[in-house]
Structure 1
Amino acid sequence: MIENTIAANVLGVTGAVCWAIQLIPQIVVNYRRKHARGLQSSMMLLWASAGVPLGVYNISKNFNLALQIQPQILTFLSLVTFAQVKYYKARWSLPHCLLTVSLLLALLGSLELGLIFALRPALHSRLEWPLQLMAALSALLLALGVGRHYVDVWQHRDVRGISFLFVAVDAMGDLTSLLSLFFEAPFDYVGCVIYSVELVMWIGIMGLGVWYHFWPSERSLARARAEAEGEAGEWLSPFFPPSTEW
């Protein structure tokens, strides 16, 4: 791997910026439509929790500053979205949402700070397994969060409720954060796994979105054109025959 501090910082900052704004499109969409249908509070709680071990890992490994701040942004925005889900779906009152989010922020922040100090003796003794445990836990929680949406897609045969702008920005944040590690020395294989897992899962969600939204629309347009031209029995698209049942 090529060590390049400037490249690592630029990519790390880009990843942090993407993660800083990733959930904002989803938050705005939820606010405008006044519902959070298709989103699960469990997904947001898993993501908020994932920020703790990820923050412990990134800070303890002394990654560039952007990657150290990144997990804190993830936790905060995840809890804001969690509050929206509870407000719109569970009909929690606004004070109830604010109090719950404040308590969770205090709890998770204290837990992360405590773990950072608790792991310092292990780092001085050059024990690697505690940090590897933090990395594995963060990757697991992130994957379970996205996996919860896979369950919803399976149940409803549709990618519903989720903002694809949010998915794209989040995937870009994972990608740039992953690339920034390639310019850190020594290369961190565990950190690479953390960002790679979520990136692959978001690519899967985008693929399902194309499957459930774009392909049926293309087929409908092909049928409409065929009927207008009186050629319903012919293929008007190289990929979507009008007679295909979906």
Structure 2
Amino acid sequence: MENNGHQALFHNLSHVFGTIGTVLWTFQLLPQVYKNWRNESTKGLSPLTMLIWATACLFYAIYAVVFEISFVLIIQQMIFGVLCLICVMQYMYYDNSKFIRKKTKTGLLFFVICIMWAGFQSICVFGIRLANKKNIDWPKTVTGIIPTVLVFIGYVPQFYEIYRRKIVCGISLIFLAIDMLGAAFSALCLAFNPPPFDAYAASFYFAIFTLDLIIFILYYLFNWMHKKNCINNNNGIDNNLNNDEIVEIIIDDKV
């Protein structure tokens, strides 16, 4: 009886942590969208990262539909994917010379991409289900692998952007914090799941948490270095400025 009680408790905890993680990973990009809108700029944020992540969501949604995974998870991926696309459109609207300040052109591009992706998703789902009927398994397996690979590839352009600018700017720290919390709660969900332990999923969550943490560390490290250099060179930066104010000054100098 005691073991059954523990199992029920662990099951409930797993469900609670999983739900929190799912909610966090549904709306974590909202602070980034707001930051882009508030600053009227996406400088420092890699649009390629957002586009790759949106593509990852597309393939995960295909995978989820084929395997009939929870409808909530499908919606979660679709919302995150749309938010990624919105960030890309914000880049086009604020910082791309061919689209800058052109609402109709940018909105039309967003609409066309959404229609194309919806069509692509429908075709893939139909094709994979047809392959399943013929006992061909590799399409659905590949569809499950692609999103994971794309998520990690998506970090590469962002880290390159940080390397190129020698500063972390344009990225919402609130977004990063929510993303890290989403990974942490999802990992806790796995920890309280009944055996066997899903080491693959756990390593995925740990990697996401670690990569976000690295960006966090780089943000404060680069800002501290720039602040120190500017003060030493008598460039007029007030020692009492906070990190965001330092970033604004450095962006004005570099961009």
Q: TM-score range by the shorter chain?
A: 0.7 to 0.9
Q: Quote the Cα distance in structure 1 between the aligned partners of 2:187 and 2:70.
A: 13
Mapped pair 1:37 → 2:37: no
CA shift for structure 1 position 126: 7.0
Partner of 1:138: 147
Partner of 2:208: 198
Structure 1 residues 194 and 56: alpha-carbon distance in aligned structure 2, compared to 1, 3 A threshold: farther
Amino acid at match of 1:81: C
Question: Higher mean Cα deviation, 114-123 or 47-56?
Answer: 114-123
Structure 1 residues 215 and 25: alpha-carbon distance in aligned structure 2, compared to 1, 3 A threshold: same
Mapped pair 1:52 → 2:58: yes
Question: Higher mean Cα deviation, 121-130 or 166-175?
Answer: 121-130
Q: Provide the aligned length of Structure 1 versus Structure 2.
A: 221
Q: Quote the Cα distance in structure 2 between the aligned partners of 1:129 and 1:187.
A: 25
Amino acid at match of 2:174: L
1:45-91: CA deviations, max 9, x gaps?
11111101112233434444432322111111001111111110011
Amino acid at match of 2:59: P
Q: 3-state SS of the aligned residue for 1:39?
A: coil
2:93/2:103 contact within 8 Å kept: yes
Name structure 1 gaps, 5 residues minimum.
Answer: 222-246
Amino acid at match of 1:213: N
Question: Higher mean Cα deviation, 202-211 or 99-108?
Answer: 202-211
Partner of 1:232: none
Q: 3-state SS of the aligned residue for 1:25?
A: helix
1:113-164: CA deviations, max 9, x gaps?
3323322355567765433322321122111222211001111211111011
Mapped pair 1:157 → 2:163: no
1:9/1:64 contact within 8 Å kept: no
Structure 1 residues 60 and 2: alpha-carbon distance in aligned structure 2, compared to 1, 3 A threshold: farther
Partner of 1:166: 175
Q: 3-state SS of the aligned residue for 1:106?
A: helix
Matches within 5 A, 1:1-20: 6-20=12-26
1:83-108: CA deviations, max 9, x gaps?
11111001151111111111111222
Percentage of matched positions with identical amino acids: 24
Structure 1 residues 93 and 216: alpha-carbon distance in aligned structure 2, compared to 1, 3 A threshold: closer
2:60/2:143 contact within 8 Å kept: yes
Structure 1 residues 66 and 123: alpha-carbon distance in aligned structure 2, compared to 1, 3 A threshold: same
Amino acid at match of 2:154: G
Aligned-residue RMSD, C-alpha:
3.3
Mapped pair 1:84 → 2:93: no
CA shift for structure 1 position 27: 1.2
Name structure 2 gaps, 5 residues minimum.
Answer: 1-6, 232-255
2:25/2:179 contact within 8 Å kept: yes
Question: Higher mean Cα deviation, 23-32 or 66-75?
Answer: 66-75
Structure 1 residues 53 and 209: alpha-carbon distance in aligned structure 2, compared to 1, 3 A threshold: same
Structure 1 residues 195 and 63: alpha-carbon distance in aligned structure 2, compared to 1, 3 A threshold: farther
2:26/2:77 contact within 8 Å kept: no
Amino acid at match of 2:124: L
Amino acid at match of 1:114: I
Mapped pair 1:24 → 2:34: no
Structure 1 residues 123 and 215: alpha-carbon distance in aligned structure 2, compared to 1, 3 A threshold: farther
Structure 1 residues 191 and 125: alpha-carbon distance in aligned structure 2, compared to 1, 3 A threshold: farther
Structure 1 residues 100 and 181: alpha-carbon distance in aligned structure 2, compared to 1, 3 A threshold: farther
1:172-221: CA deviations, max 9, x gaps?
22333344345378765554555444333212212222322357769999
Structure 1 residues 60 and 3: alpha-carbon distance in aligned structure 2, compared to 1, 3 A threshold: farther
